[in-house]
Each structure stands twice: as C-alpha cells, then as structure tokens.
A and B are shown apart, each in its own frame.
Chain A
C-alpha cells in the first residue's frame, strides 16, 4: 500500500500536454516534477505530506486494532502474558530495537542529505537503512525459527511436543504409528496428539495433553464445527462449560504407562505452573510482530526503489518528496516497534 502511496504522492511528472493552457505554464516549466493540477511546488509538497500523514494515521489504526486485541487479552489473562514473555529473548528484541533506531537515524539523514542535494551521502544513508532493515529481518528470522522449532506458536501446535522430542520418546518407548507422529506436519498434529496421549499418563504433561487425547480418541462432536485439532489441544478451562462437559465425559481415554517427562520434553509443556491459554500470547505475538515484519519488508522494497531513483538522479533540494515520505513511513515502522518491544519482551 505504501509503495503506491509514495509513488503517488511523489508527484512524479505526469505527462501532460495541457500544462501551458492553464495560464501558469511558468511554474510548470520551471519545475518539471510539478503535476498539472498543482499550482506551486509548495502546494504539491504539502499535499503529498498531508496524504502521507493520513496514510500513517490509517497504519496506526490498522495496528491499533491489534493493540486493542492485545490489551483485551492481557487484561483477561495477565498471568499468561507475564508467564509467556519469558520465552522471548530480551537480548534479541533489544538488539532489534537498537537496529531500528539506528536505521531510523540513517533514514532521517538520507532526508537531510537529499534536502541538500548531496546525492552520494543520501545513497549511502539509504543503503545503511536498507542494511538495518535486513539485519532486523535476519534477527527476526532466527527468533521465529527457534520458537517454531520449540512449538512456541499459536493454537493447538503449542500443546504438541516439538518433533525432536517426539522422536526421542518413540525411540525409547516403541510406540505404534511412528510415521505419523514423526512427521509432525501441520496436518498430522491431530494424529500426533492422539497417539501421544496414548503413550502418556495424566501427570504434569498429561494434564496438558489429556483433553486433547480424550477428545480426539473419544471422537466427540466438534461442537463449533472447528477442526478436531483445534478443540482437542486446548485446556478444558478455556472451552467454557460445554468444553468441560465434553472433556469430562471422555474418561475412557486410553492411558499409557510412561510420561514423556522422562524423555526430553519441551520446556513449556513440562512446566506444571504454566497457566491456561498461553497459546494466546503467541497468537498475538505472531500477529503483531508478523504484521510489523511485513511492513519492514515493504519498507525494504520502497527504500530499494528510492535507491534506484536516487541513482538515476531524480532527487535534489527542490524535489525530494519521495525520500521524505518513505522516511515518514520508515519512522512509523520504528515507532510501532517501540511499543511492541516493551509490550512483548519486557513484561515483568
């Protein structure tokens, strides 16, 4: 979206043969970047800026929806947020914050140099900004892959032990249907949970997994029509009275003899003190940081376009609107991260 906006507002010369007819050909001849429907460069610049600020307002409200979801869920489950925050790496989050702040500085400097027609310095700053964005995404990639590997994710997968641990258990306990379990792809989670529970008792981990197994094994009706995986993996307490009734009615769930605690259980599933609904923290976490990451990627694209146009020599002290607008966009990306960082990484 912002790509379009930046291009649009840039006032890239609209070919217009009628410019002279308007009786103010003078201004337009002097400034080839001035679109036909504007009278002066200042008017065009102000319009572009206002347009960009309005766009940033929509961005704020767009993220605002997620912030409201965050607030409502945190208000309802404060213990979940203070518990789950500890699974996030403050170091990585902190480094990312610093990376974004520095890239914001380089972006502001790019505008500084563009305003002074210093093309080389501006390009260097843009490249630095690009490098900052890339570094941010690389760090984010490592954070994400690590968490996904540990099944610190949203939804039912959160309650499925990570694949490598399942493999360990299988190796030591020779459980049936290893193939389905070992693959552990998104579609086979239901199977994984089921066959898992078949091998576990209702100890600490079993407490987490039991309802999953019970629902899956009992073949209970999916009362909201959700896929079985969804219902099955969630603690009864989060499912309302009906959920409790369903889980309670499936006492006939098969009991295994061993607990996976003897294997290499994942930290969060082993933790008996884990509150219910921790998966919701990760749902909001991935939604908000994911959307933010998408904005960083879009930022990289538009900065790349600026570099291209900058090398072509489009910008000078009279016309640098696109640099300014992309700068605004990049700062709002930084600004949103400034809130995301304490809200996710720094919960006491």
Chain B
C-alpha cells in the first residue's frame, strides 16, 4: 500500500465484510484448535477479563468487610464454611491477590493484547511458534482450572506470596493445587515470552529494523526477556514448595535446618521482575496511546526503547527490597535499597518523554487517551511512593501496612491495568471491527479514575498511620478512611460494569470500524479491521511509525489514511491535518 490508491481496495474489503480472522472458519473446533495468533489473543482476552471479574468480586468482598471494625460480612460465610472469620478473610484477600497477579495482570498485556497486536504491528504473518502459542494458552486454562480446583479443595490463605513456613504448614486444603497452578501459569508465561523474542528477532519483514519498531514491541521484547529469565526460578521455587509440603524435604523449613529466607530470595527473584512483566508492556501501550492520540511524534524514541531494556535488566537486582524486614542482612538491605532507587531513573526517563510528547500536541481526548493520561498521573504517584518504600528506615515503619497496598495498587492496577484497558479501547476497533460508544467510554473513565483515587489514595493515609494490611479488624479511628476507600471501590466497579456494558453492546450495534480510526501509523493500522487471516496480503511498507505528518482524515473511509502525497509539502510542518 504505497499510495492512497493502493490502500482503497483493502478497506473496501471491510465494507464488504469479506474474509477476516473472525469469519475465516467457523465452529468451536476452529477456535479451540486455532493456530492463528489473533484468535489465541482473543481467547486470552476473554479468559483474562473473566478472571478479572472473579478477582474483582473478591476485592469487593474484602472492601465491604472493611466497612466497619470487627466482622462485618465474614460472619455468615464463616458459619457456612465452618471456619474462623479471620480465615475466611485471609482466603478472600489471598484469592484476590493470586487471581489478579497470576491470572489477570501478568498475562493481560503480553499474552492477550500482545498476542493479537505484536505480529500485526511487526508485519509478520504469525508468531514464530504458533503451536507453542496455543499450548501456552491451554496451560493458562489449566492453571485457571487449578485455581478453581484449589477453591473446591478448601481454598488457600497463604497470601499470594506463598511464604514458607506458613504455606508448608497451613491447614487450608487448596495450597498444593494453587501452587501447582501458579507453576503451570509460569510455564505458560515462559512459552509466550520465548515465542515473542523469537518472533521479534526472526520474523521482522524487510525494512522493519530494530529502531523502526513501535515502542510497544520494544516493551513486549523487554517483558519477554524477563519472562524467560525470571519465571523458571518461580517454577523451581514452587516445585520445591510442593515437595516441601508433600514429603517434607526441609530446604525451606527452619525446624529442619532449612532457610525460609531463602524461599523469599527465590520468590522475589521472580516476583520483583514479575512486577515489570506487568508494568513494562503497560508502558509500551502508553507510548502508543500518547503519541497516536496527540498526533505527535514520540519524543526520545531511543531513550524510551532503551529504558525498557534497562528496566528489564535492573529488575533482576532489586528483589531484596521486599525483604528489608525479613531478616535479610544489613549489608544486602543497603545494597538492594540503593539499586532500587536507581530503577527510578529509566522510569522517570519514560515519564518525561511522554510528557514532552504531549507538549504542543494535537490531543484528542478519546477514551484510550484518557486512560493514557490516567496512567501518567497514577504511575507517577505509584512510582514515587515506591521510593518511600525503597528507603530502609521508612520501610521499617511502612512495611506490611496499607501504604504498601496503596503503592502496589497504584502501580499494578492504576498503571498496568489502566494501560491495559486503554490499550483494549485503542485496539478494540482493530480486534472486533466495531467502534464502541465514545461518550459512555469517557463517562466510565471518569468513574474508574475517580473511584480508583478515592479507593487507594486514602490507603496511603491509612498506612502511614499504621493500619496493617491483611486484617479484617481494625481500630475504630481508621473507620472513616476505610469507608471512603470502600465507597471508592464501589464507584470504580460501577465504572467497570459500564465499560463491560458498552464494549459488549458495540459488538451488537457498534459502528463498523475503519482500518485506522485514531490516526496511527504503525502497521496494524494499515491492515483492515478486523485483520484478515494472514494479516497482510502483500508485505507491508514500513515507515517511521511515529511520523503522523502524512496521516490525514478521510471522510470516504470514515477514518484516517496514510497519504504519502502529503509527504513533501508537510515535511516542515509537524502539525498534521485533522478532520473531526
């Protein structure tokens, strides 16, 4: 599609609703056995959003319980399940954490959106190993089923971290299935990462050099490195934990001379990088959202690209900041504290670059952009409070309080999940071929954004005043904050329900989406919505994916088109033509 003329036939195809990946073949089997990365991505998306709903239910249960000191709603559950109220509450927050981390956030961007977008963005026909890709999806399914199985076997109350010796001795019946489930999910994540690394290395079409890749791909690439290098350590840790619990091998058991702190080293050697498995691809999405929706060339492309890789590398040498109060030695505390501060540098590089990209941009406040801006705001808060926690002396006070809870929710939910939802809106027309209702989108965004801050900003206050995490009971003086926080969580969940509503409604009565509804330049926007089975009929022409000067609005297409005839005249003028 070198010219506008060449572009037309493809978009005409859509209007005729010709062959695309959704209509390519029909029936359950054609989905269950598909090797098409787009369908696998969609299946991941459905699974992840379903798990998000379940995890959200437990979040609401937890928040509702905290409306008042003492047992509020755990009582009936405790009676029904024949358990102590505290144990019921322990199971709730554990389930919330484990589901959200292992089943939702870790696979959400790389496995769901990444699977769909990465090959199209790259200009490839598929990922390098399609069968392995399908296999890792089924591993995810098995992992999810193991989580259900563990619920049926009596649940688990270990916290999502499975710390020994509690996890090896906890009387809850579902510990082994959930640990095995996390083990399997880990392999799902490893295989996805392997697939992406090989795809990016070996399947780039002619002309797609490393520095022409969209920043989302750089982010996915960095994430994949972490997935491949860190997750095996989680796998061996969980395997040892299962062996410990079944045959009492004693490596983590202090009563047998073993070392429970070693478990924490192992766990966080994975789980700190895992935080970056969650946040780095979110940063990649935000790079796309900010530049496309402000129609301005991304500022500092190479800095953003390299800072992704730098974050991936740094992430492996800071894990000890989770263990400042776990009996880790003073020497290591100091070292880990110092290195943890340095992670702030590449993160800040990104934030500054995004902010400068916005400067004098032609900003369209579409829903994806609103989520992108929310990310900027929330990630800054989440990141800066991370510095509080990396400070040794402050951490001793704040450790295991709601301050930590608020911090990682700002990062994991306020940043990673918000960016994921932004990306979901951004690529929704591409994935489904339908436009969602923009006004409902903006309205729901307001609810989510306000609700989120009401929920979690109060928790900073709670934490700094000493409210510990993981308790269902508390001193009466904390009640006001808890009530505000709970109300915020209700507002937020209303926002999410509205989002689900208008997204589902768009499938039925949404407008047909043009190939390029936002004015993006990366390759996925040169391909029809939804993309055909093989993505590109002819090898796509690769250009500067952030040069929006030759993108213009076309009434005919009801979307943007790349018009290379604009090239010579508009080279000097960075402001693109915009047609709304």
Choose, from A163-171, A230-238, A310-318, the stretch at the interface.
Answer: A230-238
Contact between chains at B243 and A224 (CB < 8 Å): no
Which A232-252 residues have C-beta < 8 A from chain B? Answer: 234, 238-240, 243
Q: Which of B126, B127, B187, B232 sits near A61, CB closer than 8 Å? A: B232
Contact between chains at A57 and B228 (CB < 8 Å): yes
Contact between chains at B262 and A69 (CB < 8 Å): yes
Mark B217-249 against chain A: 1 for CB-CB distance below 8 A, else 0: 000000000001111110111011001000111
B-side residues, CB < 8 A to A, are: 35, 124-132, 135, 165, 168-171, 187, 190-191, 193-195, 197-198, 201-203, 228-233, 235-237, 239-240, 243, 247-251, 253-259, 262, 265-266, 533-534, 537-538
Once bound together, how far apart are the Cα atoms of A67 and B256, in whole Å? 19
Tell whether A1 is near chain B: CB-to-CB under 8 Å.
Answer: yes
Given the known inter-chain contacts A58-B232, A155-B250, please indicate yes or no for A72 contacting B259, CB distance below 8 A: yes
- Point out which of A5, A227, A276 has the most chain B C-beta atoms below 10 A from its C-beta: A5
Contact between chains at B131 and A8 (CB < 8 Å): yes
Contact between chains at A154 and B249 (CB < 8 Å): yes
Contact between chains at B203 and A283 (CB < 8 Å): no
Given the known inter-chain contacts A18-B533, A58-B190, A279-B250, please indicate yes or no for A37 contacting B255, CB distance below 8 A: no
Tell whether A332 is near chain B: CB-to-CB under 8 Å.
Answer: no
27 pairs from A and B in contact (CB 8 Å cutoff): A5-B132, A9-B132, A14-B130, A18-B533, A22-B534, A37-B125, A43-B202, A47-B198, A50-B197, A51-B129, A58-B194, A63-B236, A64-B232, A65-B233, A65-B240, A66-B236, A72-B262, A154-B250, A155-B249, A155-B256, A225-B169, A234-B255, A238-B257, A239-B255, A280-B258, A283-B251, A284-B251
Which A1-55 residues have C-beta < 8 A from chain B? Answer: 1, 4-5, 7-9, 14, 18, 21-23, 35-38, 43, 46-47, 50-51, 54-55
Contact between chains at B198 and A37 (CB < 8 Å): no
Contact between chains at A47 and B194 (CB < 8 Å): no
Please count how many residues in chain A sit with their CB below 8 Å of the partner chain's CB atoms: 62
Contact between chains at A76 and B259 (CB < 8 Å): yes
- Point out which of B127, B249, B537 has the most chain A C-beta atoms below 10 A from its C-beta: B249
Determine the chain B residues whose CB is within 8 A of the CB of A286 once the complex forms.
249
B210 to chain A, nearest CB (A): 15
Contact between chains at A230 and B232 (CB < 8 Å): no
Determine the chain A residues whose CB is within 8 A of the CB of B250 once the complex forms.
154-155, 230, 279-280, 283
Contact between chains at A230 and B255 (CB < 8 Å): yes
Once bound together, how far apart are the Cα atoms of A231 and B201, in whole Å? 53
Once bound together, how far apart are the Cα atoms of A5 and B247, in whole Å? 30
Mark A53-89 against chain B: 1 for CB-CB distance below 8 A, else 0: 0110111011111101100110011000000000000
Contact between chains at A62 and B236 (CB < 8 Å): yes
Determine the chain A residues whose CB is within 8 A of the CB of B126 once the complex forms.
36-37
Contact between chains at B254 and A54 (CB < 8 Å): no
A253 to chain B, nearest CB (A): 19
Residue of A nearest to B263 (CB): A69
Contact between chains at A54 and B198 (CB < 8 Å): yes
Once bound together, how far apart are the Cα atoms of A43 and B537, in whole Å? 20
Once bound together, how far apart are the Cα atoms of A66 and B239, in whole Å? 11
Q: Which of B125, B193, B201, B259 sits near A36, CB closer than 8 Å? A: B125
Determine the chain A residues whose CB is within 8 A of the CB of B187 once the complex forms.
1
Once bound together, how far apart are the Cα atoms of A68 and B247, in whole Å? 21
